[in-house]
Chains A and B, each alone.
Chain A
Amino acid sequence: MATPNTPLWEVFIRSRNGLAHKHVGSLHASDATMALQAARDIYTRRGEGLSIWVVPSSAITASDPADKGMMFEPAESKIYRHPTFYEVPEEVGHM
């Protein structure tokens, strides 16, 4: 339950073979230590993680869905920004 004493936290988990922490969900906790404990109990029960970050949800600044057109549509018509027009030499191997 959301109360002033238990603010919302966002949880990020780095999995066993993952390179980056990925957002997995959120939870309520009184402070960072308790948030980390709760994240361990809720999001790593099936061996999902090797590392956990918790971030106060209030620290996140999000884009406004109403700005979708202005923010994201201009990029959709510019396919030349995708690196698909280059020949990758054999020697480079997997990129």
Chain B
Amino acid sequence: MAIANVQVSETPLVLYTLRRADDALILGHRLSEWCGHAPMLEEDMALSNIALDLLGLARELYSYTAQVEGRDNDEDKLAYLRDVRQYRNLLLVEQPNGDFARTLVRQLFYSAFADLYWRAMMKSGDATLAAIAAKSEKESAYHLRHSSEWIIRLGDGTAESHARAQTAIDDLWAFTGEMFTVDESERGLIETSVAIDPAGLRPQWLKTVSDVIGEATLAVPTNDWMQQGGRGGRHSEHLGHLLSELQHMQRTFPGLTW
């Protein structure tokens, strides 16, 4: 049975908050896939905790998106009733978990950005976004510490863990550029101080990530060709599969609640 997708009026602010909400939901969902499968109980809990932080962030951002849009949408409709081309998340966060090293490299790349981003967004001229940023900054600071400590140990661990971590870094590097890009619709929000320019965060991000990778005895990739598309709804083939699982219940039993 097909349930019609909702349409979203993507004014600049709606699109902006929707993109960040999608980042949080998709990465949170990816991490939740580890629940019951992590290599040790302690990490099962740690990854689920991070997933829940991100899910909470996604809810706040979707609610605000719906409020700004001012139409019939709500957080559930935005999460469950948009198709893959309507999703606006970064390509990085939809990449499959792979092995434990790949999951944590993805987390390091994202959290090193999110920590800087939310800290900067605490000064947003938009009071709601500033409040969300203040809460999220503490969470992402911990996510960064967690993933950093693991990458250091995986890189400086066994030959096997070193090789897996390096492969993950090399494979995911091309997805990191998209975090720092800005399009026309966001440019206006930056000029009015609602948003911050992420390009300004890149030097510090590169330093943070390089320091961790260096301490882990791993190598920072030298290629600077970057893949983009997620912000415009052009995704890798992985996102459709993720959404089919994420949306299955609401698509099959519309309006289902616990």
Contacts and interface: CB of A to CB of B under 8 A. Distances in A.
Contacts of A37: 46, 145-146, 149
Given A37-B146, A40-B142, 19 more contacts: A27-B41, A27-B42, A28-B41, A28-B42, A29-B42, A30-B153, A33-B149, A34-B149, A37-B145, A38-B43, A38-B45, A38-B46, A41-B42, A41-B49, A41-B146, A42-B42, A42-B45, A45-B45, A45-B49
A6 interface: yes
Contacts of A66: none
Interface in B18-59: 40-43, 45-46, 49
A27 B45 CA distance: 12
B40 A28 contact: yes
Q: Is the interface of B mostly helix, strand, loop or mixed?
A: helix
A70 interface: no
B233 to A, nearest CB: 34
Interface residues of A, number: 14
Interface residues of B, number: 12
Interface of A: 1, 6, 27-30, 33-34, 37-38, 40-42, 45
Contacts of B153: 30, 34
Nearest to B49: A41
Given A1-B40, A6-B40, A28-B40, A41 B149 contact: no
B149 A38 contact: no
Nearest to A45: B49
Contacts of B146: 37, 41
B148 to A, nearest CB: 10
Interface in B121-166: 142, 145-146, 149, 153
Closest 4 CB pairs of A and B: A38-B42, A41-B46, A41-B45, A42-B45
Contacts of B45: 38, 41-42, 45
11 contacts: A27-B42, A28-B41, A29-B42, A33-B149, A37-B145, A37-B146, A38-B46, A41-B45, A41-B49, A41-B146, A45-B49
Contacts of B43: 38
Nearest to A42: B45
A3 B43 CA distance: 15
A44 to B, nearest CB: 10
Contacts of B41: 27-28
Contacts of B149: 33-34, 37
